[in-house]
Structure 1
Amino acid sequence: MPKDQNFIEEVLLDYKEGMDYVSEQLPRLTRKYHAFTEVCFAKGKLQTKDKQLMALAISVVMNDDYCMVYHTKMCVDEGATEAEILEAVGVAAAFRAGPSLSQAATLIRDAIEAFEKEQDSSSSDN
């Protein structure tokens, strides 16, 4: 079920108010942080839209609601289409699932083998 417009606006407002508070408490840090991120998202070898799509995908992997909403807005503002946004989210979903499958293919498999050997060893001791 899609979130209504008010929810999305509330998320953005909550983020802004929170950042305003942190900026009042830690002005030097937040100025430096904003300067850093401004440079990171500026057009370079990659277009700003591509950087925003990357940030959106990362926010999905990190499960960061505020960044998902913020970077979706930034993607739209940079001219990303719905298809581009959803493709970036698809890559994020694949990446998020990948570590689980990798662990199953390696660590979990190794643990099963170790526990089965341990079980066989203790069975033969009886």
Structure 2
Amino acid sequence: MSGRSAQFSAFRQRMNDRILNHDNQVVRRFFALDTQTYKSGALDVRTKEMLGLVASLVLRCDDCISYHVAQCVEAGLSEDEFFEVFGVGLVVGGSIVIPHLRRAVDFLDELTAPPPAPAD
């Protein structure tokens, strides 16, 4: 992990720790609900993450998009599957989603780029 993906993960972890260390049951319960929602159930994790990615595209939340792109990579989505998910997000959200799609594909490319070859 490097660049944007490393910064995103580090920031997300640091802020989640900060937020969850505060004694607020509403916030803690909401975070727990979010975690539980994406666990395997009648729908598998891959499907739930694809749904999360579509919803994030439609809502135009770049942090959420990045998170769900990373989770979809972890769940093993192929590039073709990603582009089908992106297509659903575009159809539901309309052309206003295009800038967010660009950033999503850029983040996907970063996450799936082969590691640089070692220097000789």
**Do these two structures clear the TM 0.5 threshold for a shared fold by scoring above it?**
yes
2:50 to 53, 58, 83: 53
Structure 2 counterparts to residues 27-42 of structure 1, below 5 A: 27-42=24-39
Point out the structure with max Rg over C-alpha.
1
- CA RMSD, aligned part only? 2.2
Structure 2 counterparts to residues 1-126 of structure 1, below 5 A: 5-97=2-94
Unaligned runs of 5+ in 2: 96-120
Q: How far has the Cα of 1:15 moved from its partner?
A: 1.8
Unaligned runs of 5+ in 1: 99-126
Cα distance in structure 2, aligned partners of 1:26 and 1:60: 32
- My pick for the range that moved more, 28-37 or 74-83, is 28-37
Q: Percent of counterpart pairs with the same letter?
A: 22
SS at match of 1:45: coil
The aligned amino acid for 1:57 is V
- Deviation above 6 Å: which 4+ runs of structure 1? none
Q: Which has the higher contact order (CA 8 A, sep 6+)?
A: 2
C-alpha deviations, 1:8-52, integer Å up to 9, x for none?
A: 221222222222221123453343123212321121221110000
Note if contact 1:53-1:88 (Cα within 8 Å) is conserved in structure 2: yes
* Larger helix fraction of residues: 1
C-alpha deviations, 1:28-86, integer Å up to 9, x for none?
A: 33431232123211212211100001101111111111111111111111111121112
The aligned amino acid for 2:40 is K
